[in-house]
Amino acid sequence: MTSEVQQWLTSFDKAISSQDVESAVSLFEPDGYWRDFVSFTWNLKTMEGRDQIRDMLSQTLSRVRASSWAIQEPPLASEDGVTETWITFETQLGRGWGYLRLRDGKAWTLLTTLQELKGYEERRGPHRERGTAHQVTRDRETWLDKRHAREQSLGRTEQPFCLVVGGGQGGIGLAARLRRLDIPAIVIDRHDQAGDAWRNRYKSLHLHDPVWYDHMPYLPFPDDWPVFPSKDKIADWLMHYTDIMELNYWPKTECLSASWDASDGRWNVTVNRDGNELVLHPIELVFALGVSGYPNTPEFDGSDVFRGEQHHSSEHVGGGAQAGKKAVVVGSNNSAHDICADLWEHGADVTMLQRSSTHISRSESLMELALGPLYSEEALEQGITTEKADMLFASWPYKLLPDVQRPAFEEMARRDHDFYAALEDAGFELDFGEDGSGLFLKYLRRGSGYYIDVGASQLIIDGKVKLVRGQVSHLTSDSVILEDGTELPADLIVYATGYGSMNAWLADLISPEVADRVGKCWGMGSETTRDPGPWEGELRNMWKPTNVEHLWIHGGNLHQSRHYSKYLALQLKARMEGLPTPVYGLEESHHSR
């Protein structure tokens, strides 16, 4: 195995070093894949097939000057004839890490990622600060003095190089990476403190993903934390994270508007900071507002005459005096199930209105079959760190991911057959994604109809939460009327109806023209419901250059925010230092919002 991989790497190194594009291309299968994060393309880009690989190399080889390709760990061979190995390499500007899969001596998949910039390494390990000079001086400036001075100057007498709008896990995780790279940055958050986006949700909320999947950058959760921490535990952790990581975090600060000043080469960003309006002038502007835009709150006929309470799931705090209330939850996604469970626990008479089919994964099965091989105690014991797990997941191009994921979800359907049969007997409409590939692809394709079951499904099976399928026609003063005439009495309506596209924020805060230039965010063009083509091969506009220079989109779940913040931070650092960053394969902006 080692000799096969070494022979391939030697040939590849020779071809790349001599800029022999055809020889390099010939080392891939005709339909092979090369996924690159920043190291060659200054982009997040997947090349599919030899023609695309040839085009990328033709445009990048002369400047990248990649070399020193080496095996990092002994290769592994699978029963299906695939040899896999970790690799390292260097470029003119940085150091890289990758993962290679060979079949019959040819590359089936190659992942290359930039890990650090030469001369601009993160301030950690051997590059950490000394902290003090061992000499006695008068009027010594302490660490606390310096920190307070920095807090007072940044955004006032000194402008940030980067402004991060959004102080959830994505925004503060990115800010931590920017700080390690000595990038002056401010992260603004409309909440009173970091973590409030979690703290203010319904009381029963816990992480649905296991804790190994959800670490923050640099600071993993303690190893005695529960597998599924509560939302308040996560909120406390995020609150303390901003302080421990020494972030320039501005709470109670809302972005009001932003515009690019071409003459000055900076953004003019107007913010309201705890009642005081001021203008910041960053060069790079990052929107880190999750994976969605504004809440989709439907305006049904009769909404204005309904006498009870109605609100979007994002506003549902749970608990309280729900006993005896007739509650209708419109939707059947994660939030809908959680809210139904919360309402039932507090004595409400609950009905879930399912409007479209929904994928359900039992939490235990999802952990064992889909996440466990990479994110679990067993994986850690096998040497699969969080960083390796993130890389292994990323090593699969999105075009191949359905085939990679499908066996786990097929086994889930087999193992949990009785559970799914009971749900269907209760009238629940199930799916496993349009191609049977399950939860993760549905999430990536902008699909919202999924639930990681942590107990609410049993309430539906047992009839404790009533289930009705259909579409809303209108509301009356005290009920929801469906298109087939069914009447659902209601004192409370919760709309678990999802969110709009995240670039709606861009339209309101910058301009509709800028939002149109950026185009759609999230989704890959998979030609599935809510994810129309053309095929992009990567998530649209996420963590990479957009068609509006100096404007970036960051977000995703905890896992994605952690992993991809690294590559976004490196792109920003290179620009701050004036390094050449020619972008290969910039996404076209022909997508409507």
Classify residue 302: in a domain, yes or no: no
Classify residue 318: in a domain, yes or no: yes
The reply to whether 323 and 285 lie within a common domain is no
Residue 41 sits in a domain whose CATH number is 3.10.450.50
The reply to whether 206 and 113 lie within a common domain is no
The reply to whether 316 and 269 lie within a common domain is no
DSSP string, 433-502: -TTS--HHHHHHTT---EEEESSHHHHHHTTSSEEEES-EEEE-SSEEEETTS-EEE-SEEEE---B--T
Q: Judging by beta carbons within 10 Å of its beta carbon (0-12, 13-18, 19+), is residue 417 exposed, middle or buried?
A: exposed
Classify residue 364: in a domain, yes or no: yes
Domain boundary pick from 495, 521, 552: 495
The reply to whether 481 and 506 lie within a common domain is no
Single-letter amino acid, residue 154:
L
Report the residue count for the chain: 593
The reply to whether 347 and 486 lie within a common domain is yes
The reply to whether 322 and 462 lie within a common domain is yes
Burial 41-66 (b: 16+ CB within 10 A, else e): bbbbbbbbbbebbbebbebbbeebeb
Classify residue 581: in a domain, yes or no: no
Classify residue 550: in a domain, yes or no: yes
Residue 295 DSSP label: B
Look at residue 1 in the predicted model and tell me its pLDDT.
64
Burial 286-308 (b: 16+ CB within 10 A, else e): bbbbbbbbeebbeebebeeebeb
Look at residue 377 in the predicted model and tell me its pLDDT.
95
Residue 46 CB contacts under 8 Å (≥ 6 apart), including other chains: 33, 34, 35, 36, 397, 398, 399, 537, 538
| Both tokens assigned to 325 | 């209330």
Report the distance separating Cα 288 and Cα 294, nearest Å: 14
The reply to whether 457 and 328 lie within a common domain is yes
Residue 510 sits in a domain whose CATH number is 3.50.50.60
Look at residue 319 in the predicted model and tell me its pLDDT.
76
Q: Answer positive or negative: Cα dihedral of 544, 550, 555, 561.
A: positive
Cβ atoms of residues 301 and 480 within 8 Å: no
Q: Quick one: which of 340, 312, 492 has its CA closest to 426?
A: 340
Sheet holding 266-273, edge to edge: 253-261, 266-273, 276-280
Report the distance separating Cα 439 and Cα 171, nearest Å: 25
The reply to whether 515 and 542 lie within a common domain is yes
Domain boundary pick from 440, 473, 495: 495
| CA angle, residues 23, 24, 26, in degrees to nearest 5 | 65
Residue 331 DSSP label: -
Rama region for 579: left / alpha / beta (φ>0; ψ in -120 to 50; rest): beta
Tally the domains of the chain. 3
Look at residue 528 in the predicted model and tell me its pLDDT.
84
Give the pLDDT of the chain (593 residues) as one tens digit per residue: 678 999 999 999 999 999 999 999 999 999 999 999 999 999 999 999 999 999 999 999 999 999 999 999 999 988 789 999 999 999 999 999 999 999 999 999 999 999 999 999 998 888 888 887 788 888 888 888 888 888 888 988 999 999 999 999 999 999 999 999 999 999 999 999 999 989 988 888 888 889 999 999 999 999 999 999 999 999 999 999 999 999 999 999 999 999 999 999 999 999 999 999 999 999 999 999 877 778 889 999 999 999 999 999 989 988 777 889 999 999 999 999 999 999 999 999 999 999 999 999 999 999 999 999 999 999 999 999 999 999 999 999 999 999 999 999 999 999 999 999 999 999 999 998 888 888 777 888 766 688 999 999 999 999 999 999 999 999 999 999 999 999 999 999 999 998 888 888 899 999 999 999 999 899 999 888 788 889 999 999 999 999 999 999 999 999 999 999 999 999 999 999 999 999 999 988 755 55
The reply to whether 87 and 175 lie within a common domain is no
Report the distance separating Cα 442 and Cα 588, nearest Å: 23
The reply to whether 449 and 517 lie within a common domain is no
Query: 52 φ, ψ to 5°?
Result: -70, -40
The reply to whether 227 and 366 lie within a common domain is no
Classify residue 361: in a domain, yes or no: yes
Q: Quick one: which of 274, 309, 330, 290 has its CA closest to 499?
A: 290
C-alpha neighbours within 13 Å on the C-beta side of residue 67: 7
Residue numbers of the domain that contains 250: 154-293+500-576
**Confidence (pTM):** 0.95
Domain boundary pick from 425, 460, 495: 495
Classify residue 145: in a domain, yes or no: no
The reply to whether 419 and 336 lie within a common domain is yes
Q: Answer positive or negative: Cα dihedral of 134, 135, 136, 142.
A: negative
Classify residue 128: in a domain, yes or no: no
